[in-house]
Structure 1
């Protein structure tokens, strides 16, 4: 699989993971003041196991940290990812 790129699409309230022109997955979010609520993550079946979900999580969390936001991982995938990566635990609201 080619390199995974993740970008924020604020108009659609989601982070989008792509490889070339192909959409591999999305992480949906809502903003509640200074809290980024991560609501749902979807990865294309063909891309599962290739780090797409991790790329989405890392980008969302790093962006939240860069902007001084707290994070509320309501999505089970994101909550589990934060648990496995304690370096992001300080962001959890």
Structure 2
């Protein structure tokens, strides 16, 4: 099932593409950023995050990370941030997402 939400600002749309095991952020109809994951029981293991170089510096990676972590929280799961980007996002937003992290 594909969950999606309009991200704040612009024409960015963020979704959970479960068939491809990744969260996607589309900007102007193109996939601009992805966060790959693996579901391991009650954990979502984030393995790789990538922002297309054409869209870097616009805060899209942060929008994607927030959506993904909010979705993990909404589903009652935990996050295992093996990806450096997701791990650093959580560290910068410890108050909102620190309780999601498992090792």
Name the TM-score class by shorter chain: over 0.9
Q: Does 1:16 align with 2:16?
A: no
Match of 2:97 in 1: 88
Distance (whole Å) between structure 1 residues aligned to residue 19 and residue 93 of structure 2:
28
Match of 1:4 in 2: 12
Question: Structure 1: any 5+ residue segments left out of the alignment?
Answer: none
Q: Quick one: higher RCO (CA 8 Å, sep 6+), 1 or 2?
A: 1
- Map Cα deviations across residues 4-54 of structure 1 (whole Å, 9 max, x no partner): 211010010001100131110100000000000000001011111111111
Q: Does 1:68 align with 2:76?
A: yes
Distance (whole Å) between structure 1 residues aligned to residue 45 and residue 25 of structure 2:
18
The DSSP-based 3-state class of the residue aligned with 2:20 is: coil
The DSSP-based 3-state class of the residue aligned with 1:50 is: coil
How much has 1:55 moved relative to structure 2? 1.1
CA-based RMSD = 1.2
| Preserved contact between residue 4 and residue 55 of structure 1 (Cα < 8 Å) | no
**Dislocated runs of 4+, deviation >4 Å:** none
Judge which range, 46-55 or 31-40, deviates more: 46-55
Match of 2:3 in 1: none
Match of 1:41 in 2: 49
Question: Structure 2: any 5+ residue segments left out of the alignment?
Answer: 1-8
Q: TM-score, normalised by structure 2?
A: 0.86
The DSSP-based 3-state class of the residue aligned with 1:29 is: strand
How much has 1:3 moved relative to structure 2? 2.7
